[in-house]
Amino acid sequence: MNLLKSVILIAILILIMVGIFYFIGKESSGSMMDVSVDVFLDNGGFAHISNINGTLREVNKISIPKGNEIITPGVTANVIYNQFMIGYWTSAGINPAVPLNSTTTYNLTVGLFENPKRGSDVSITVRLVGFRGEELDSIVTTFKIP
């Protein structure tokens, strides 16, 4: 009889755990923004941001990157929605051996801790940072979420 009670108790606990995981799993999708940044290096050796593209995609929350330290020299990106930062700062290092008069594309993935609504506007802030952390160039671009 004690064995039967123990088995029933264990079965109830397993059902409760499955219910908790199911409830948590329902809210397990999140968003991240894939940002493509073109950096142009002119004849004088000065770098400029020449183009930004962004694509929003839904992923499992566990797959959302949590950002990283700012890499100098580098390109940093963040996402703004309703005047609030909704993404983790993300950074990629710049290759110092890029030839003059050339364009290099840097791909950054910005993890979002809030999902913007479809049809709304989000702004992507991209900064070009020098060796000492000084801002060399900065662009804010607005995208409509499809």
Residue range 21-74, pLDDT digits in tens: 776 665 677 889 999 999 988 888 788 998 999 999 888 877 788 888 888 889
In the predicted structure, residue 97 carries a pLDDT above the cut 80: no
At residue 18, does pLDDT exceed 80? yes
**Model confidence at 131: pLDDT above 70:** yes
* pLDDT of 85 over the 90 cut: yes
* The domain defined by 30-144 carries CATH number 2.60.40: yes
Instruction: Give the pLDDT of residue 77.
Output: 93
Distance, CA of 14 to CA of 58 (rounded, Å): 30
Gap between the Cα atoms of 74 and 129, Å rounded: 5
What ranges do the domains of the chain cover?
30-144
**pTM of this structure:** 0.75
E strands, 5-134, are 29-41, 47-60, 74-81, 84-85, 90-93, 102-111, 121-129
